[in-house]
Each structure stands twice: as structure tokens, then as C-alpha cells.
Amino acid sequence: MDADQPERTPDGRYIVVKGRRWRATDPEIPEDVAAGLRRHLMAARRAVAASHRNHDPAAERLARSRVHTAKVALGERGTPWWEQPLAERRRRWEDGAAELDAARKPGQRTARPADG
């Protein structure tokens, strides 16, 4: 097992973190798409935290909705990816990515890792 990667269950469907199982990301998602979805997820999680600091329930609802959309697109929520045919899985991540990309405010950038 790679030291940077969490432990996985033998069937590969879950990761194990501090003894707790969490549904793994769909392994069929192309890495560039998965990376974009993870960027959206982390930005949405930061927006949830900011909405708490600002006591803004409307912003929190919007941010939590974005978290949910990203998690579903990654296959970590909703119908388990291993129960879906590949075409349905592809539609799930493509639709989720399109929705998250469209929801960005004009001129807003999703943080990207530094090149190097």
C-alpha cells in the first residue's frame, strides 16, 4: 500500500480511515476529472466553513449542496458505483462536473495545485 493512500477494503469499494469505512471514489473516473471534482469538493467545504464564520444560512445551504453534488459525482454518495453500469457511472461524473463548473461565479477560479 502506498503511504500516501488510505487503506482499502479487499473489494476496493471502501477506504478505511481511523477504523471507519468510507465509500471510495469510483476508480473509473479519469484522473483529470476526479481531480477537478476534488477541487470543487474542497472549495465547497471551505465555503461551508466560511458560511459558519459569517453566520450565513443561505450560503451554507448552497455550499452543502455543492459538497453533495461533488460527492455524488465522485461516487462517494448516492447509488454505489459498483451497482451501476459504466455508461450510468460516466453520466454521473460528467453531469456532476458540468453542474459544478456551471455553478461557479463568472471570473471565479477553482484552486489548482502548483505545477512542479
Tens digits of residue pLDDT in 3-27: 688 899 999 999 999 999 999 999 9
Cross-sheet strand order for the sheet of 14-17: 7-8, 14-17, 20-23
Please give the pLDDT value at position 1. Answer: 52
User: Confidence class of residue 78 from pLDDT cuts 50, 70 and 90?
Assistant: very high
Task: Estimate to the nearest angstrom the gap between the alpha carbon of 32 and the chain centroid.
Answer: 13
* Residue 108 pLDDT exceeds 70: no
Name the helix (H) or strand (E) containing 65. Answer: helix 57-74
What pTM was computed for the model?
A: 0.85
Can you tell me which residue has the cell 453533495? 68
Please give the pLDDT value at position 85. Answer: 98
Please give the pLDDT value at position 3. Answer: 65
